[in-house]
């Protein structure tokens, strides 16, 4: 049986558009953190940062050979677009959406949850830390 992982993702953007970072926290089925991701992704919008954070998280979950993932995001837009409750109008987001759907095809099962920002502090901290790393590039 392949493992089940829980992913918390967040994108941060200082200015919109502006310097951006992604953060993801991946937990095993016991609720233990097994991976933290914090990456600077350049100048972009907050919505692109949210999408990219999920892409980073899903790629890592596939590397970890997860069969199931529970995705937690505080981005209402991302959650509702993934659930097909909101249409995607932005051409750039459509490309990222297709990439996410492709990655999700690698899992036996997935669930998308929209959570309150207060429940997403770990991923938020990692995303903001990544924006602070902009000067390294």
Q: Which residues are identified as catalytic?
A: 10-11, 50, 74, 114, 124
Query: For the sheet containing 33-44, what is the strand order?
Result: 33-44, 18-27, 3-13, 66-73, 109-114
18-27 vs 33-44, strand pairing mode: antiparallel
Question: How many angstroms separate the first and last alpha carbons of the chain?
Answer: 41
Q: At 26, phi and psi to the nearest 5?
A: -115, 130
Q: What share of the chain is helix, strand, coil (3-state, %, to 5)?
A: 40, 35, 25
48 neighbors 11 (Cβ within 8 angstroms): yes
Q: How far apart are CA 62 and CA 68, in angstroms?
A: 10
């Amino acid at each position: 049986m392949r493992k089940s992982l829980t992913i918390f993702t967040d994108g941060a953007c200082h200015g919109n558009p502006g310097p951006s970072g992604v953060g993801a926290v991946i937990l095993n089925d016991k609720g233990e953190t097994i991976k933290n991701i914090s990456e600077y992704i350049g100048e972009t919008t907050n919505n692109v940062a949210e999408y990219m954070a999920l892409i980073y998280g899903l790629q890592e979950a596939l590397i970890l050979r997860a069969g199931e993932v529970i995705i937690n995001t505080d981005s209402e837009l991302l959650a509702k677009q993934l659930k097909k409750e909101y249409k995607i109008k932005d051409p750039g987001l459509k490309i990222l959406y297709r990439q996410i759907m492709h990655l999700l095809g690698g899992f036996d099962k997935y669930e998308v949850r929209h959570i309150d920002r207060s429940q997403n502090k770990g991923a938020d901290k990692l995303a903001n830390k990544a924006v602070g790393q902009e000067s390294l590039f």
